[in-house]
Structure 1
Amino acid sequence: MANTYYLAIDIGASSGRHILGWLEHGKIRLEELYRFENKLVKRNGHLCWDIEHLFAEVVAGIKECQHRERIPASIGIDTWGVDFVLLDKEGKILGDTVAYRDSRTQGMDEEVRRVISDEELYSRNGIQKQLFNSIYQLLAIKKETPELLDEAESFLMIPEYLNYRLTGIKKNEYTNATTGQLVNAQTRDWDYELLEKLGIPTNIFGELNMPKTVVGKLSLEIEAEVGFQTEVVLPATHDTGSAVMAVPSITDDSIYLSSGTWSLMGIERLIPDCTEKSRAYNFTNEGGYHYRYRFLKNIMGMWMMQSLRREFRHKYTFEELYQLAYIGRYFTSVVNVNDESFLAPDNMIEAIKDYCRKHNQEVPETEGEILYCVYMSLARCYAQTVAEIEEVTGKKYDCIHVVGGGCQDKFLNALLATETGKEVFAGPVEATAIGNLLAQMLRDECFADLREARQVVAKSFAMEKVEGKLVF
């Protein structure tokens, strides 16, 4: 019997990949078909995404299915959160596709605060305050280029726009929408009252659809280009939403850490926690599959490491980076990894040094000292987050399950185990793509429910118990 294939298109801040998945002998199999680069570009004084480049790469990767004679039953696209495009009545993008790392949102929290307090805003949506959230981006557009909002007919987040280009159909998706502070946690719909208070036109926001929803078939133009017909299905289009679906051991006693460019650390809940205590700790209640909530904290993550790796003169392998960090383990300075100075600095090395100077700490000089400073700062932030989760929930957690590309970083995993004192398990690496595939497979009733799907993930992919020892 021929396999039924599904295609996950997983696009992160630095790269994208097309991963084919199928069930074989009760296990999920994966094959990477295509990989491409994604990066920020400067346009009209702003940091932007090259959306035409992204779409061209999406199509190029889909073509690989035809080349390899593996036609997928469906396709799903996930990306990072909060970023969006505005479309005019002809479906054309208005303005540039400005990225969340751009500085245009500076001061926009004050603009929002004039309308609604931080406390009331959190009580409505339960979303962690991040100055790059969609709510602040929309206020920046309203202030800088209000004519774009006047002309706008549709608001689509990045994966929704790519779906639109593939199918000609516009559909908003719930999990990604929640990341921008625009969705009411109780009604699970756009917060139209809030949008009206802020002077944002409400007509541009469409019905929110859940993962598993069919967007539509490929347009005739795209079908002709890629050489076959298939359906586009909504996964959890926010990459963390997909990654958390693929955590194989989510229980009442476990914490997950989705480790990539960003670190998303938290627990899965069935009801949101929009209390003042959660707001004070800056936790978020992002929407998940089947109205689950991802109660988590957004931490700067491997972005700092990725930036350092680019800036170091020598192109170190990951093993060499671990060795350098191990050599620098005598260094004691730590930084707040969530400080805005690390969001998009011209030079990450200098940003770390400047932070240490300003906070009267020893300044790292060698590459080993810089690396260990970042590693330990991340591990301490994770440990603090674990402590806060336990305080807010009033319970202890036994283990942490690390998924995503960052779960391969054995040095950070060891520090995580040491600093938290918890059992740490690593894997699977391609959690986001797997979660994307799970939504498509659930739509096809390959599994009875998400619980069964996670059990299959546990059988299909190796997981490693991490030893809390730094040995090289």
Structure 2
Amino acid sequence: MVDFSLRYKKAFTIRGDNVTTYSLAVDIGASSGRLILGHMEKNQMKLREVHRFKNKIVQKGEHFCWEVDLLFSEIKTGIKKCLAEGIKPSSIGIDTWAVDFVLLDENDKLLTDAVAYRDSRTDGMMEKVFQTIMKERLYLETGIQFQKFNTIYQLYSLKETQPEVLEKAKTFLMIPDYLNYLLTGKKVNEYTNATSTQLVSAFTKKWDHDILTKLGIQTEMFQDIHPPQTVVGSLREELVAEFGCDMDVVLPATHDTGSAVVAVPALDETIYISSGTWSLIGVENHFPICVTKALDYNFTNEGGVDYRYRFLKNIMGLWMIQEVKRNYNDKYSFAELVDLSRDVQEFKATVNVDDERFLLPENMISAIQDYCRETHQQVPITPGEVAKCVFDSLAVSYQQAVHEIEDIFEREFKTIHVIGGGCQNELLNQLIANVTQKEVFAGPVEATAIGNLAVQLMTLGEIESIHEARSIIKQSFEVRTYTSK
């Protein structure tokens, strides 16, 4: 059973007389993870990173996978670093990327590796699912955009290739759910991440048993879905003994974009771009939009905090420049690639950033060059040309998504708010302002961790509501402004 009560254990620091309530955000992305400590001080949110570690996809046998046990070990290391400084958090909350999962057997042992969404096992699976459930029906029920790596197609791949694994499975947990299980021993599926599976009804907010049954996927392995601000429970006894203290494990929006959107200082009248490995561009809405035009434009209705909906589109994002940097053997920093791109203003070529060839190419630079050759454009040769091609292509993709959002809502938005690590790219921010002819606000940088902490502090009673949280965030963190030139 999940413990919904909250004991309001006040954290403290040994360096002062005042009692301060601390929360610890575990924010894990595709290339790195970190633990960030947060607390309220004079009506402002204060952050401090206590631990950072690398994360990457590794090949295990035939598949590309995440090392979830290593991630859990890093979480424990971060907790210990925090405690070594004399700070005992009241709560801890975990967010990661979406769609990926593990399955447990009847003895709660892993049946599967945490296969990564960039793995090729889902090739052709979306089309096979459509043979059983019409594409339009699937969208009408779930409101989720069609991406070949969605959980529904990962599970169907298992059904096609390893049906015996699905038959043995007793528990389905997404990556943050599994990490929460390792901390508490409690099995919970969190709402915002569960919606990304394309298996949750956009209207009932529960697992869609009709879809699961039609696909021949057993429903019993799925857990009850719980919203952000749920207290999962206390730490396992062995972890309490290892750390020398207890803390509550709280559900933030465990989907990192769900947490990031909480940190947009003003959402009523703006389009947001959560900019990182992926770019998530959209608006916050109070109801799902499952109309034909949204389907045609391939927009998604992912769950958010307070049962709000993140109506957005997933765009490839800074993954492309991350891979370009790696392909150049990290000879250039991201800042240097930005500077080099400024030096080749006469170069003009763009690619469709959502072309599947860019999902996991052997060499990103070659993939970009091949695309330009095939489309009879100037081929980027120098590092500056390659970088400029990526940044220009991202700006064009954002411009198209903005047009689609305004077409669906039949209204014009005046501003775009860029959040997350990508908002530090001043060149890209200016390009967005130029191509969209809109005012662009950039910040906060640590949006995902901030949103994670805001939900924990709401749960602890330190912040009253998401409205108050956004007001606090607005006055706590720097936001820069860009206008079109």
Aligned twin of 1:380: 396
Partner of 1:198: 215
2:4 corresponds to: none
For the residue of structure 2 that corresponds to 1:94, the secondary structure is coil
Output the CA distance in 2 between the equivalents of 1:347 and 1:321: 17
Q: Is the 8 A contact 2:438 2:483 kept in 1?
A: no
- Which of residues 292, 307, 315 in structure 1 aligns to 2:331? 315
5 Å-filtered alignment, 1:180-219, equals 180-219=197-236
Alpha-carbon offset, residue 12 of structure 1: 0.2
Deviations 1:38-94 (A, max 9, x none): 000001111111111111111111111211111100000000000000011111111
Match of 1:441 in 2: 457
Q: How far apart in 2 are the matches of 1:318 and 1:176?
A: 30
Which position in structure 2 is the counterpart of 1:269?
Answer: 285
The reply on whether 1:152 has 2:152 as its aligned counterpart is no
Structure 2 contact 231–250 (Cα < 8 Å) conserved: yes
Distance 1:58 1:226 in 2: 12
CA drift of 1:313 comes to: 4.4
Please state if 1:354 is matched with 2:370.
yes
Q: Deviations over 1:323-372 (max 9, x none)?
A: 11111221221100011100011110011111112222221111111111
Secondary structure in 1 aligned to 2:116? coil
> Which of 22, 47, 53 matches 2:64?
47
Q: Is the 8 A contact 2:44 2:476 kept in 1?
A: yes
Give 1:6's aligned amino acid: S
Cα distance in 2, alignment partners of residues 96 and 206 from structure 1: 19
Counterpart selection for 1:412 from 428, 432, 436:
428
Q: Which position in structure 1 is the counterpart of 2:322?
A: 306
Which of 343, 362, 367 aligns to 2:383? It is: 367
Alignment coverage as a number of residue pairs: 468
Output the CA distance in 2 between the equivalents of 1:330 and 1:225. 59
Answer yes or no: is the 8 Å Cα contact 1:63–1:227 preserved in 2: no
Residue 413 of structure 2 aligns with which residue?
Answer: 397
Distance 1:351 1:318 in 2: 19
Tell me, in whole angstroms, the C-alpha distance in 1 between the residues paired with 2:178 and 2:373.
43
1:30-109 correspondence to structure 2 within 5 Å? 30-109=47-126
- Deviations along 1:109-152, one digit per CA (max 9) or x if unpaired, are 12101111111111111101000000000000111111111110
Counterpart code for 2:382: T
Helix, strand or coil for the counterpart of 1:247? coil
SS in 1 for 2:196: helix
SS of residue paired to 1:116: coil
SS class of match (1:237): coil
Matched, 1:13 2:30: yes
Q: Normalised by the size of structure 1, how large is the TM-score?
A: 0.98
Gap runs ≥5 in structure 2: 1-17
Shift of 1:227: 2.6
Tell me by how many angstroms 1:314 deviates: 5.4
Structure 1, unmatched stretches of 5+, are none
For residue 177 of structure 1, what is the aligned residue in structure 2? 194
Do the aligned residues in 2 keep the contact of 1:328 with 1:371 (CA within 8 Å)? no
Q: Using the alignment, how far apart are the partners of 1:30 and 1:87 within structure 2?
A: 35
Partners of 2:27 and 2:35 within 8 A in 1: yes
Q: CA deviation at 1:418?
A: 0.4
- 1:16-55 Cα shifts (integer Å, max 9, x gaps): 0000000001100001000000000001111111111111
CA–CA separation in structure 2 for the residues paired with 1:339 and 1:68: 47
In the aligned structure 2, how far is the partner of 1:314 from the partner of 1:204? 43
The letter of the residue matching 1:268 is: E
Out of 349, 364, 384, the residue aligned to residue 333 of structure 1 is: 349
The CA distance in 1 between the partners of 2:158 and 2:183, in whole Å, is 27
For residue 435 of structure 1, report the CA deviation from its aligned partner: 0.5
Contact 1:85-1:94 at 8 Å conserved across structures: yes
Question: Of 272, 290, 295, which aligns to 1:279?
Answer: 295
Distance 1:282 1:332 in 2: 28
Separation (CA, whole Å) in 1 of partners of 2:223 and 2:330 = 49
The 5-angstrom pairing of residues 186-265 of structure 1 reads 186-251=203-268, 253-265=269-281
Q: Percent identity?
A: 55
Cα-Cα RMSD = 0.9
Distance 1:322 1:236 in 2: 32
| Separation (CA, whole Å) in 1 of partners of 2:448 and 2:226 | 19
Question: Which shifted more, 328-337 or 240-249?
Answer: 328-337
- Aligned with 2:185 (options 157, 161, 168): 168
| 1:417-440 superposed Cα distances (whole Å, 9 cap, x missing partner) | 101111001110110001000111
- Secondary structure at the aligned position of 2:323 is classed as helix
More moved, 348-357 vs 157-166: 348-357
Instruction: Confirm or deny: 8 A CA contact 2:209 2:219 kept in the other structure.
Output: yes
Is the 2:438–2:484 Cα contact (8 Å) retained in structure 1?
no
CA distance in 1, matches of 2:158, 2:299: 26
d(CA) in 1 for partners of 2:329 and 2:463? 49
TM-score (norm 2): 0.95
Note the 1:460-471 alignment, pairs <5 A. Answer: 460-468=476-484
Give the secondary structure class of the aligned counterpart of 1:203: coil
Contact 1:403 1:427 in 2 (8 A): yes
Give a deviation string over 1:193-222, Cα, whole Å, max 9, x none.
000000000001111000000111000111
Contact 2:395 2:431 in 1 (8 A): yes
Contact 1:9 1:76 in 2 (8 A): yes
1:95 Cα deviation (Å)? 2.3
Q: What residue number does 2:3 align with?
A: none
Residue 420 of structure 2 aligns to which amino acid in structure 1? G
Of 127, 130, 134, the residue aligned with 2:144 is 127
